[in-house]
Structure 1
Amino acid sequence: MSDTTFEVMVQRGDRWIIHSTFDVEKEAVTEAEKLVKTKISAVRVIRNWERGDGRHIEKVLLEKEGAGEDQDDDVRVSSIEEAPLCETDNDLLQKESRATINRLLRKYFEQEILTPCEVMYNYQNLRKLMFHDTLMPTAVDKVAGLHAKATEGDHIEAMNNLHGAIEQLSARAREVEKVDLPAFEDATITEVRDEIRRLNLAEDTDFLTMVALTRVLSSTRNWVGKLDLALKVKGDEKDEAARKMIDDVIADILGSPVALKELLGSSRSFGEAVTLHIDLALGRAKGNRGAADDILELLNPLFGSGLLANSQEAMFDYIVRELKSANSLQRHESDPDPLDGILERLITEQGVVYGTPMVSAIAERGARLRNVGGPRALIEGVAEINSRLIPNFRKLTWLIAVANSGIVEDFADELYEMMCDSVQDMRALRAFCDPEAKPRDKMATVKQMNDVLAASNVPDEQKAEIAGKLDDGLAEYLVREKVIERIDNPSLHLRKRAYMLVQFCSSGVLIEGKSAAMARKRVVGYLKQPNFTDKLVDDIKDMTTKEGTIRDFYALLQRSGF
């Protein structure tokens, strides 16, 4: 790469801000002439080159006045409530830090169509941000305030730490700016990374790979194009390091609301947008009109298989913030309420997707629906969400997740009362399970809820009470539906009946208690029959086969805990 660059700078108040950088003077002058006709105060073209002794020299080649400044184009920092501590350049590069920077400088990134990765690994992009009016000092001051508050430390010291980390990162990016790195022309990130490793450069290989990748990403001036490029170069999914780099890039891109809109298409309401975001994170998104369907076809299986763990986490974090916001899910009060669909996606037999942060966000949304604030806000929100969940196993799933989160510890009695209500009607499992589910699926649901309860933070005494209700309900269902009788069909040979009963006992659909005892009692009854072993194989003539069958059956008994 050339040691000479040409910077196009625009005047903002008393400050000059880098607008763009070119390697060719003619291209820089052409861009400046275009800018003169827009709402800016003035424009400059500066030649910037590095001498042999390492000194940087600047020379103004062109300066013209513009049509006048438009104050509405000011880019300011966005509000944030927390920020991870950053004392080194590597701290800044971590996913939590990049996500915070993405929110803090959202307006700037959307204006420039850039991501945190493209700024941090690209010196020209980083320098442009650093000299963009007072944006960087303001951002550092805001984050330093949060750091000082979180650590009960000194604000100035926190600012100095941040500036130090930024200077470290800037120095690294500047050091490799002119390094000739492999291009991504028909090459995967794994191939480029291997080629960079063979160069034996002083800088870290992964850092240099990201520098090479962000060079080509920065030249792509739309969000879907960036996603398309990232997916084209992703290469072998078994290459863990390469996959993580692509994951980081995609996480940064999807941190932009504009990028999500371009990917998924326009939504008719905020609630529909949230639903689309959840489906994307779960790997089953179907875009609206104008969506980039070809990109979604590539992203869905990657999200669904967990190969984009950082991107998935970033999406769920984004969804948490959406649910916590004051935005109404419905565009008009008469519109269908999208909350039920959102809850259906987020609350499953396994628990609440994304754990405590999502539990808290859903509860806050419930409190907002009831228009309740103060100390009772969250417990009222929990009750509101509970009232919307059917069948009852989803209520219990939600309430156990709430108990695990600890967000309503002061209202434990009310939470327990709601749990008891969720298992009050266990008759035929009609209210507790999906009425359309098959018998085995219903039993599996009850067993699953018992397992979730056993692993929960619910107090032991309360846990035992609710577990007893689940076991009673399952045992009653076995009797009512004659489940054991259907398996133990007298028209079948004893061996088949015995095998099916033992397999049923170990199938994972029974609770250790009444329900499991009922099935085991029937098996033990067979084992106690006189000459049981002879009857088990009385239809088999070959002695070797008889012995093998008996061994197999007793091995099954052992595996099943008999």
Structure 2
Amino acid sequence: MVSSRENFEVQVNKGGRWATETVVPKEVEARALAKKFLADKKCEGARIVRNWMRSDGTMDETEIFAQTRAGADDGPVRISQIDEVPEKCETPEEFMGPQGRNTVNRIFRSYLDKAILTPTELMHNYKELKRLQDKDTLVPSAVDRVSQLQTKDSEQDSKSRSQEIFKSIDDISARAKRVENVKLPKLDGCFSDAIKEIRAQAGGEDVDYLAMVLLSRDLINARSWVGKLEFLCKLAVEDSDPHAVELLDGVIADVLGSAVVQEILGWQPGLGAAICRMFDLADGKFPTEKSEAGESAEILNRLFAEKKLPISRACMLDRAHRQIRSPNPLYRSESGKELEELKKLVERTMTPTGFISGSETAEALTIRYSRQIEQGGAPGRKATVNGLFRMLPDRAQGLVYLCDLAGSPWGGTATPEIAELVDYCLSARHLGDFCVRSLPPKEKMLRATLAHKIAAAAAFPPAVREKICGFIDTMLEAYLVTEQIVEKLDHQDSHLRDRAVRLVQFCAAGVLPEGKAMNRARQRILSLLRQPNFDAHFIDGFTDPVRAQKALRDFHILLVKAGFG
């Protein structure tokens, strides 16, 4: 008799994603249905998941059968049309690095989704690489596209660049074939432990390369994107070796180049909301409750929060920015909500340290806004820059936007329009006119100081940078005077120790840039430090000499942090 606590879920693979077709109570019935699905040549795969309800009410899921067809074919597979590529890879190692794999991920997206393969598996498995090379004209088309993009503005011709790329592909293929039958340790525990075993037997082959071969052999058995992600994330979260996690990070980035991101994010009301969630995930702040990727999403979010996946984070940010630049509407159901959704996106991408990715973010948002503008040429550029600028809450953040945009290719075509708005920012009469008036004093100063920092590194002529920074510094100094910020911190009725600590903490908090405003605050501190017997007065009131000396040491450490040498 079959227990009512058990059932069998029959799933089929559709476009690289597993979807449940039916749930039955008996294993034999599930296997018969899976076989029936696989009889259809268009079926890319079928699998059976056994669901068992434990006594505590939780569900245990075990995959008991899986079969896929890398060759399931419903017509020719074509390369994806890409419009940008990274700088040239000169060696096979560079082709197999993060940027090279990212390009492979994008240009072979259709093929990789059908085969459910990452670029890492493709490059470290000779049979899979050979299968791709034998697939119509897929590889020659991809090489031709990449070589054209990489030689577009150079003296090299695309034909010679194609020959260089083919040479590297041949080298990668020969290397994969050479190690195809090399015996490697089992990946039963930590990835770093397996790497140590490989190191002991590597011989003349590169240890990291063999580690990737081993990882690929195991990863290729996971026949869904969520399965691959779960396998890799569990390895990464359980390993404390930074180098092992770095290798895993690159492969996790490969997986995040697939449609698995849609499963991680779950249902979203529109593209705008989905992009915001991508940024949340990259920051490790993604709410995983509605994710369709289950435990994988939770582990991935945790790894991002712990800043263990810089390569994968860069992949997520790149994907988010490409979606911002795309012509797809941010909210498909109501076209009138496009600007409203864009405003939410602008707010999400602006952080306490500026735009998430600086010039890249500013340019992507500008390109998105430009699709709302009907005019072309200079009038269109002016309307675009002005429109995005007005979406920001005040001149301080508007200036951050202009500085970042100036450093982008798009901004290079709109220099007069940017300059006009910079002058508008510098027409602010005081800090309350430059920042949102209702902000607390500390937040106003932080926002102005951020604009100062971004402007100091902006792609403006030196004279313009100095003008902007001088204006903000003067405005901050005036704010200190009119609001008596320093005097309030240095209240005469307080103990000398409290006054000194408050002032030094203020200077160390990053609320002021180096300049006149900071010097004014430091002068007040110096006047305290120069008082006779300062140290004795500072520890006055302590009965425990050990605590007194610790307080004095901590104060001197704080002085160094505040720039007192």
* TM-score normalised to structure 2 length: 0.76
**1:323, distance to aligned residue in structure 2 (A):** 1.6
Choose which of 447, 450, 453 in structure 2 pairs with 1:451. Answer: 453
Taking structure 1 as reference, are residues 99 and 372 closer, same or farther at Cα in structure 2, changes over 3 Å only? farther
State how far apart, in whole Å, the 1-side matches of 2:437 and 2:207 are. Answer: 53
Map of 1:93 onto structure 2: 96
State how far apart, in whole Å, the 2-side matches of 1:32 and 1:145 are. Answer: 46
State how far apart, in whole Å, the 2-side matches of 1:555 and 1:104 are. Answer: 53
Letter paired with 1:465: K
Taking structure 1 as reference, are residues 32 and 391 closer, same or farther at Cα in structure 2, changes over 3 Å only? same
Map of 1:300 onto structure 2: 301
Letter paired with 1:304: A
What secondary structure is seen at the aligned counterpart in 2 of 1:369?
A: coil
Letter paired with 1:321: R
State how far apart, in whole Å, the 1-side matches of 2:550 and 2:247 are. Answer: 55
Map of 2:331 onto structure 1: 330
State how far apart, in whole Å, the 2-side matches of 1:178 and 1:431 are. Answer: 67
Choose which of 129, 153, 156 in structure 2 pairs with 1:153. Answer: 156
State how far apart, in whole Å, the 2-side matches of 1:201 and 1:247 are. Answer: 26
Correspondence 1:382 to 2:382: no
**1:354, distance to aligned residue in structure 2 (A):** 2.3
Map of 2:106 onto structure 1: 103
1:504-546 per-residue CA deviation (whole Å, 9 max, x = no partner) reads: 45554345555345545655776899x797995897799x99x
Correspondence 1:273 to 2:274: yes
Map of 1:419 onto structure 2: 422
Correspondence 1:214 to 2:216: yes
- Partners of 1:349 and 1:397 within 8 A in 2: no
Write the mapping of 1:71-220 to structure 2, written as runs, cut at 5 A. Answer: 73-83=75-85, 84-86=87-89, 88-185=91-188, 187-220=189-222
State how far apart, in whole Å, the 2-side matches of 1:262 and 1:478 are. Answer: 51
- Partners of 2:508 and 2:558 within 8 A in 1: no
Letter paired with 2:292: A
315-324 vs 86-95, greater mean Cα deviation: 86-95
Map of 1:254 onto structure 2: 256
State how far apart, in whole Å, the 1-side matches of 2:158 and 2:523 are. Answer: 70
Map of 1:320 onto structure 2: 321
Taking structure 1 as reference, are residues 192 and 368 closer, same or farther at Cα in structure 2, changes over 3 Å only? same
Structure 2, gaps ≥5 residues long:
1-33, 44-70
Taking structure 1 as reference, are residues 525 and 310 closer, same or farther at Cα in structure 2, changes over 3 Å only? closer
1:143-190 per-residue CA deviation (whole Å, 9 max, x = no partner) reads: 3433454544344433333332222211211222222222223x1211
Taking structure 1 as reference, are residues 496 and 245 closer, same or farther at Cα in structure 2, changes over 3 Å only? closer
1:289-343 per-residue CA deviation (whole Å, 9 max, x = no partner) reads: 4522422222223223432111111222222221221111121124472222222
Letter paired with 1:177: E
Choose which of 433, 441, 465 in structure 1 pairs with 2:443. Answer: 441
Map of 1:399 onto structure 2: 402
Choose which of 363, 366, 373 in structure 1 pairs with 2:366. Answer: 363
- Partners of 1:247 and 1:308 within 8 A in 2: yes
State how far apart, in whole Å, the 2-side matches of 1:110 and 1:214 are. Answer: 16
- Partners of 1:184 and 1:192 within 8 A in 2: yes
State how far apart, in whole Å, the 2-side matches of 1:280 and 1:549 are. Answer: 41
- Partners of 2:42 and 2:73 within 8 A in 1: no
What is the aligned residue count?
498
- Partners of 1:347 and 1:398 within 8 A in 2: no
Taking structure 1 as reference, are residues 512 and 217 closer, same or farther at Cα in structure 2, changes over 3 Å only? closer
Taking structure 1 as reference, are residues 148 and 338 closer, same or farther at Cα in structure 2, changes over 3 Å only? same
Give identity over the alignment, percent: 33
Taking structure 1 as reference, are residues 350 and 378 closer, same or farther at Cα in structure 2, changes over 3 Å only? farther
Taking structure 1 as reference, are residues 199 and 443 closer, same or farther at Cα in structure 2, changes over 3 Å only? same
Letter paired with 1:171: A
1:355-403 per-residue CA deviation (whole Å, 9 max, x = no partner) reads: 3333322221121222344456555433222110113322121112123
- Partners of 1:114 and 1:218 within 8 A in 2: yes
317-326 vs 462-471, greater mean Cα deviation: 462-471
Letter paired with 1:280: L
What secondary structure is seen at the aligned counterpart in 2 of 1:132?
A: coil
State how far apart, in whole Å, the 2-side matches of 1:379 and 1:78 are. Answer: 33
Taking structure 1 as reference, are residues 470 and 182 closer, same or farther at Cα in structure 2, changes over 3 Å only? same
Letter paired with 1:329: L
State how far apart, in whole Å, the 2-side matches of 1:123 and 1:403 are. Answer: 46
**1:92, distance to aligned residue in structure 2 (A):** 2.4
Structure 1, gaps ≥5 residues long:
1-30, 41-68
Letter paired with 1:515: A
Letter paired with 1:490: Q
Q: Which has the larger radius of gyration?
A: 1
State how far apart, in whole Å, the 1-side matches of 2:73 and 2:539 are. Answer: 95
Letter paired with 1:130: Q
1:402-421 per-residue CA deviation (whole Å, 9 max, x = no partner) reads: 23336434543432331233
Note the aligned Cα RMSD (angstroms): 3.9
State how far apart, in whole Å, the 1-side matches of 2:320 and 2:157 are. Answer: 33
Taking structure 1 as reference, are residues 254 and 540 closer, same or farther at Cα in structure 2, changes over 3 Å only? closer
What secondary structure is seen at the aligned counterpart in 2 of 1:405?
A: coil
Taking structure 1 as reference, are residues 91 and 484 closer, same or farther at Cα in structure 2, changes over 3 Å only? closer
What secondary structure is seen at the aligned counterpart in 1 of 2:407?
A: helix
- Partners of 1:77 and 1:104 within 8 A in 2: yes
What secondary structure is seen at the aligned counterpart in 1 of 2:205?
A: coil
* TM-score normalised to structure 1 length: 0.76
What secondary structure is seen at the aligned counterpart in 1 of 2:344?
A: helix
**1:193, distance to aligned residue in structure 2 (A):** 1.2
Map of 2:17 onto structure 1: none
State how far apart, in whole Å, the 2-side matches of 1:526 and 1:70 are. Answer: 79
Correspondence 1:311 to 2:275: no
What secondary structure is seen at the aligned counterpart in 2 of 1:306?
A: coil
- Partners of 1:351 and 1:401 within 8 A in 2: no
- Partners of 1:102 and 1:109 within 8 A in 2: yes
- Partners of 1:223 and 1:262 within 8 A in 2: no
State how far apart, in whole Å, the 1-side matches of 2:184 and 2:216 are. Answer: 12
**1:458, distance to aligned residue in structure 2 (A):** 3.1
Letter paired with 1:117: T
State how far apart, in whole Å, the 1-side matches of 2:96 and 2:538 are. Answer: 68
- Partners of 1:364 and 1:378 within 8 A in 2: no
- Partners of 1:489 and 1:497 within 8 A in 2: yes
State how far apart, in whole Å, the 1-side matches of 2:291 and 2:480 are. Answer: 52
- Partners of 1:267 and 1:288 within 8 A in 2: no
Letter paired with 1:227: L
State how far apart, in whole Å, the 2-side matches of 1:139 and 1:289 are. Answer: 37
State how far apart, in whole Å, the 2-side matches of 1:537 and 1:248 are. Answer: 53
